[in-house]
Amino acid sequence: MFNSRIKIKALLETAPLGTEVTIMGWVRTFRNNQFIALNDGSTNQNIQVVASLGMLNEDTLKRITTGASLKIRGEVVESPGKGQQIELKANSIEILGDSDAEKYPLQPKKHSLEFLREIAHLRFRTNTFGAVFRVRHALAFAVHKFFNDKGFVYLHTPIVTSSDAEGAGEMFRVTTLPMEGAPKKEDGSIDFEQDFFGRSTNLTVSGQLEGELGAMGFGDIYTFGPTFRAENSNTTRHLAEFWMIEPEMAFHDLEDNMNLAEEFIKYIIDYAIENNREDLEFLDQRLADEEKQKPQAERSELGLLEKLQFVLNNQFERITYTEAIDILINSPAYKKKKFKYDVSWGIDMQSEHERYLVEKHFKKPVIVTNYPKDIKAFYMRQNDDGKTVAAMDILAPGIGEIVGGSQREERYDLLTKRMEEMHIPTKEMWWYLDTRRFGSVPHAGFGLGFERMVLFVTGMTNIRDVIPFARTPKNCEF
Ligand code: 4AD
Ligand code: MG
C-alpha cells in the first residue's frame, strides 16, 4: 500500500520512539549530505531525517534538493540536536519527484509576499502560507460547526442568477452568445432570449435573496459560497471572487441579528485559537517581526493573539450611524482636516472614517446601525423616521467593514414601493415578493466576508494572501 504513511504532525505529537514509520513530503533543506528537513504540510514543523554517511550513493545524494519529494522509511529516535525532540534515522530513502535546485523558485530564504503571489502555485510550501491556509481551513470548518450546532440548514444557493441581489450593478455576465454578431432584437439591443438560459444571466453577488426563501421554510439557514463582484476596486480589501457566509433567520429582528453575528465571530476566532494555536503563534511572531520594521508610532499596541483574545473578552461597541457621524465631526482628525473625504449625515462612510471609529476612537469592533436608506439596498427594513433602515455593519480594527446585514422589509406594500423607487424590477422578482404575500414574517440576516475574517485572524494585510488564488482586476493567473 502506497499510503501507509504517518503525517509529520502526528509523528511529532505521538513520538513513537523505537518504531519504524514511513513519511513522505518535500525537502526544505539538506545539510552536510546527512540532515534532511522534510515538510508535508500537516504542520510548519519539519522533521529532521538523518541519513547515515555512506548510506546513499552519489547519484541519490545529488537528487536530494530543496523542493524534491521523498518517501522515507526510518526509525523514530530521540534527537541529540537542538530544536527538536525526535528525528528519523533513515533506513531507506526513495526520490518520488526531482526538483532542479537551480530552477526551483522557492529558495530556502525569506521571500517577499509580493514575489510569493507571483508563484502562488508553490507558496503553500512556505511556513507563512502553510499557517494561513490551515487557519483558513479551521475557520471554514468552525463556520459549519457553529451553524450546524444551532440547527441551521446549509442551503446551496445558485452561482448563476438572473437578479442583482445588491442592486449595485457590479455583475459578471454569463453567456454563451458569440462576442461578434450576437443576435439582436428589432430595437438593436442583444436578444438574450437566444442565450443559453433564455434570458440575461450573471454570476451571483450574494446568495441572500434565495437564502430568504429558505428561511421562510426552515426558519434558520446559512449559505457559504463564492460570490463575484465586478467592482473595479484594486485595494487590499477587495476581491472579484470572494467567499461569503450568509445566515438568514426568520423571527429575528435587528438586535437578534447583531447578537448572532457577534457570537458567531467570537466562536470562529475561539475555534481557531483552540485548534490552530501553533499556526497562530507562528503568525503572531511573523507579525511582531514585521511591526519591528515600522516606526514606533505606527506599531499596533497588541500582538495578534492578544488582539484576538481582546476581541473575545470584550463586547462589540454598538452605535447608530447618526452617532458615528457625530463622533467623526467632533473628532480631532476632522477638525484638523485629516480626512481626505468630507463628513456629513448621509455620506457612505469611507474606509478612513470606519478605521478612525474602530482604531482610534473605540479601539475595538464596532457595530453601526440604522444607516440612511439612500446608501443601502432595497430589501432593508424601513424605520419609522422615514430616513433610515434597520441595517447593521460590523467594522473591525485593521480591516473596516467585515459584516453587512439588516432586518429585511417584510411588509409587501413598503417593499414594492421601495423597489419601484430604486428601479428594481418587481415583475421579475415575483418569487421574492411571494414570500411577503404568503406568511411573511419579520426576519433578518447578514453576510460575513470570509477573506476579511481570515485577514483579521491571521494578521495578514493583503486580501490576496488569504485566498489560494486571488481574482482581482487584470489578474486571473492560475
Ligand atoms: O455588505 P455586502 O455587500 O452585503 C451583502 O452582500 C448582503 N447580501 C449580506 C446579507 O445581508 N446577507 O457584503 C457582505 C460582506 C462585506 O461586509 C464584506 O466583508 C464582504 O462581504 N465583501 C467583500 N469581500 C471581499 N471582496 C469584496 N469585493 C467584497 N465585497 C463585500
Ligand atoms: Mg456592505
The CATH number that applies at residue 398 is: 3.30.930.10
* Ligand that lies nearest to the alpha carbon of residue 234, given by its number in the listed order: 1
Does any domain span residue 189? no
Based on the fold, state whether residues 239 and 315 are members of the same structural domain.
yes
Based on the fold, state whether residues 74 and 157 are members of the same structural domain.
no
170, 227, 235, 244: which to mutate for ligand 1, most atoms within 8 A of CB? Answer: 244
Alpha-carbon distance of 161 to 163, in angstroms, equals 6
Does any domain span residue 131? yes
pLDDT at 296: 87
**250 CA to middle of ligand 1, Å?**
21
Does any domain span residue 421? yes
Atom 17 of ligand 1: nearest residue by CA position: 403
pLDDT at 96: 97
Q: Is 400 in the pocket of ligand 1 (CB under 6 A)?
A: no
Based on the fold, state whether residues 61 and 163 are members of the same structural domain.
no
- Per residue in 4-34, pLDDT (tens digit) is 899 999 999 998 999 999 999 999 999 999 9
pLDDT at 19: 96
- CA of 406, closest atom in ligand 1: 11
The CATH number that applies at residue 66 is: 2.40.50.140
- CA of 233, closest atom in ligand 1: 28
Based on the fold, state whether residues 137 and 89 are members of the same structural domain.
no
Q: Is 452 in the pocket of ligand 1 (CB under 6 A)?
A: yes
Based on the fold, state whether residues 217 and 282 are members of the same structural domain.
yes
Does any domain span residue 200? no
- Per residue in 227-254, pLDDT (tens digit) is 999 998 899 999 999 999 999 999 999 9
Atom 2 of ligand 1: nearest residue by CA position: 404
Based on the fold, state whether residues 326 and 421 are members of the same structural domain.
yes
Based on the fold, state whether residues 103 and 144 are members of the same structural domain.
no
Structural domain count, the chain: 2
Q: Is 244 in the pocket of ligand 1 (CB under 6 A)?
A: yes
- CA of 238, closest atom in ligand 1: 26
Does any domain span residue 119? no
**129 CA to middle of ligand 2, Å?**
28
Alpha-carbon distance of 329 to 317, in angstroms, equals 19
pLDDT at 1: 62
Does any domain span residue 474? no
Does any domain span residue 475? no
pLDDT at 369: 98
- Per residue in 280-337, pLDDT (tens digit) is 999 999 999 999 999 988 888 899 999 999 999 999 999 999 999 999 999 999 999 9
Based on the fold, state whether residues 161 and 221 are members of the same structural domain.
yes
pLDDT at 2: 63
Given 76, 109, 142, the domain boundary residue is: 109
Atom 9 of ligand 1: nearest residue by CA position: 447
| Spans of the chain, pLDDT less than 70 | 1-3
Cβ neighbours of 294 (radius 10 Å): 10
Based on the fold, state whether residues 92 and 145 are members of the same structural domain.
no
Alpha-carbon distance of 431 to 436, in angstroms, equals 9
Cβ neighbours of 154 (radius 10 Å): 14
Cell of 401: 467593514
Based on the fold, state whether residues 343 and 452 are members of the same structural domain.
yes
Based on the fold, state whether residues 79 and 129 are members of the same structural domain.
no
Q: Is 447 in the pocket of ligand 1 (CB under 6 A)?
A: yes
Does any domain span residue 312? yes
Given 63, 78, 109, the domain boundary residue is: 109
- CA of 405, closest atom in ligand 1: 11
* Ligand that lies nearest to the alpha carbon of residue 248, given by its number in the listed order: 1
The domain in which residue 152 lies consists of 125-169+205-465
Atom 23 of ligand 1: nearest residue by CA position: 449
Based on the fold, state whether residues 214 and 353 are members of the same structural domain.
yes
**403 CA to middle of ligand 1, Å?**
7
pLDDT at 397: 92
